[in-house]
Amino acid sequence: MDQLLQQLINALSLGGIYAMLALGLAIVFSIVGLINFAHGDIMTFGGYGIFLSMVFGFPPVAALCIGLGAAVVMALAMERTAFRVMRGADVISLLITSFAVSEILKVLFQNGISARPVPISFPASWSGSYQIGGMTIGVAPTASILVTILSLGCLTFVLRRLAIGMAMRAAAEDFDMLRMLGVRANRVVAAAFAISGLLAGVAAVIWTAQRGSVDPMMGFFPVLKAFIATVLGGLGSLGGAVLGGFVIGTLEVLTQAFLPDALAPYRDAIVLSAVIAVLLVRPDGLLPARSGARS
């Protein structure tokens, strides 16, 4: 029973990271139709931001803030330099552009910083643990869950209560109509990229705090899972992305924890089969996006 509870905490912690990454992908996709393959590199850049600021002697908390900022700046720079000129292109052209951006950034990280992982050494207290009713719970997973809840809470507030958030939801539904209400397209798109970058930055912070190293491929694997999460949840659906992230995270942790040894190598295959099974029954995902008027 204790073990199940502990594994559930692990699942929430991992699922939360996937959820934030998936949400970042979904926000951008829903507004500009871009499946941003370079999203992982935004996260990686955030990680390097943390690494470099610690190298330059910033205290850990300041380094984390710099990492967050770095991810936002990278997301905005990406939009401005690569994706703005491609605005309105079809999904495939945009996808290929994002592949190119991703490759370029990986090579830059590799040659500019290091092909090898670089270490990030946070204070030991950050990787401590505490006891609740006989259960040992890590500080890091707990912080990860709290940060995730806080981030998703803030984002919900922005999307539900603030005009810019409403405009982004409107843009997700019918971007052209929003422009016919006088709203500057670049502002909404930039806001979407900024939010997606911020979420990737939060993910990078949690990720590096838990993993202790940054490498050029750091963002690639979690974002791959986040892609699957967005498809599972319903491509372009924000709620679906969050749900998909938690589902994938939970499945991964539970298969890792409870699958018999003989089946362990098939873990990913089992998780993906489950996703395919869901999509067979619900081809548009768990919480399909509203189709709106966009083609």
Partner 1 sequence: MSDTVLDVAELDVRYGPVRAVRGISFGVARGGITALLGANGAGKSSTLMAIAGVVPIASGRVSLFGQPTSKATPDAIVRSGVGICPEGRRIFASLTVEENLIVAGTAVATPQTAATRRAEMMERFPILGERRRQLAGLLSGGEQQMLAVARALMGAPRLLLMDEPSLGLAPQMVDTIFSIIEELQGEGISILLVEQNAALALEVANHAVVMANGEIAGQGAPADLQSDDLLKSAYLAA
Partner 2 sequence: MKLKSLLLGTAIAAIGTASFAEDYVIGVMSAQSGYLAPYDGPAYAGFKFCMDEKMANGGLNGTTPVRLIVKDTRSDIAFGVQVVQEMLDDGAQFIVSSADADPTIAAAQITAADMVPTMTFAGTAPVLTQVGPHVFGSYPGDNQQGAVLAAYARDQGFEKAWLLTSPDSAYTLGGPRYFGEVFEANGGEVVGESTFSLNQPDFSAIVTNIQNAETAPDVIVTWAWEPDFPAFIRALRGAGVDTQVMGGDVLDTPTVRGLGEVVDGVVHTSGGFPEEGSDYAAFIKRFEEATGTTPDNNYYVNGCDIADMIEQAVAAAGTTDPAAVSAAMAEIENGKGTMSNFTFKGTDRMPLRDVVVARITGDGEKEFVLRQMADPETLPKP
Q: Looking at residues 189 to 228 of the shown chain, list those that interact with partner 1 (rule: CB under 8 A).
A: none
Give the closest residue to 96 by CA, choosing from 82, 109, 76: 82
CB of 164 to partner 1, least distance (A): 7
Candidate list 184, 269, 273, 276; residue touching partner 1; CB under 8 A: 184
Q: Which partner from the list partner 2, partner 1, none does 31 bind, CB cut-off 5 to 8 Å by kind?
A: none
Q: Looking at residues 137 to 176 of the shown chain, list those that interact with partner 1 (rule: CB under 8 A).
A: 163-164, 166-167, 169-170, 173-174, 176
E strand residue ranges, the chain: 118-119, 129-132, 135-138, 213-214
Residues in contact with 198: Cβ distance below 8 Å, sequence separation at least 6, in sequence order: 68, 71, 72, 75
Name the residue nearer to partner 1 (CB basis): 174 or 284: 174
Give backbone dihedrals phi and psi of 264, rounded to 5 degrees, phi first: -50, -40
Q: Is 60 in the site for partner 2 (CB under 8 A)?
A: no
CB of 268 to partner 2, least distance (A): 6
Backbone CA torsion sign across 183, 185, 189, 190: negative
Contact at 8 Å (CB) between 19 and 249? yes
Q: Is 86 in the site for partner 1 (CB under 8 A)?
A: no
Q: Is 217 in the site for partner 2 (CB under 8 A)?
A: yes
Site string for partner 2, 235-274 (x = CB under 8 A): --------------x--xxx-xx---x--xx-xx------
* Cα gap 132→137, rounded to integer Å: 7
Q: Which partner from the list partner 1, partner 2, none does 138 bind, CB cut-off 5 to 8 Å by kind?
A: partner 2
Give backbone dihedrals phi and psi of 96, rounded to 5 degrees, phi first: -65, -40
Place of tokens 């692990």: 10
From the number of C-beta atoms within 10 Å of its C-beta (0-12, 13-18, 19+), residue 88 rates as exposed
Contact at 8 Å (CB) between 201 and 46? yes
Q: Is 2 in the site for partner 2 (CB under 8 A)?
A: yes
Which stretch in 2-10, 93-101, 148-156, 287-295 sits in contact with partner 2 by CB under 8 A?
Answer: 2-10
Q: Is 292 in the site for partner 1 (CB under 8 A)?
A: yes
Q: Quick one: how far is CA 128 from the chain centroid?
A: 25
Q: Which partner from the list partner 1, partner 2, none does 263 bind, CB cut-off 5 to 8 Å by kind?
A: none
Q: Is 59 in the site for partner 2 (CB under 8 A)?
A: no
Q: Which partner from the list partner 2, partner 1, none does 166 bind, CB cut-off 5 to 8 Å by kind?
A: partner 1
* Cα gap 96→130, rounded to integer Å: 46
Beta-bridged to residue 80, according to DSSP, are: none
DSSP label of 261 = G
Footprint of partner 2 on this chain (CB under 8 A)? 2-3, 6-7, 10-11, 13-14, 17, 106-107, 110-111, 114-119, 121-122, 124, 127-129, 136-141, 210-215, 217-218, 220-222, 225, 249, 252-254, 256-257, 261, 264-265, 267-268
Footprint of partner 1 on this chain (CB under 8 A)? 163-164, 166-167, 169-170, 173-174, 176-185, 290, 292-293
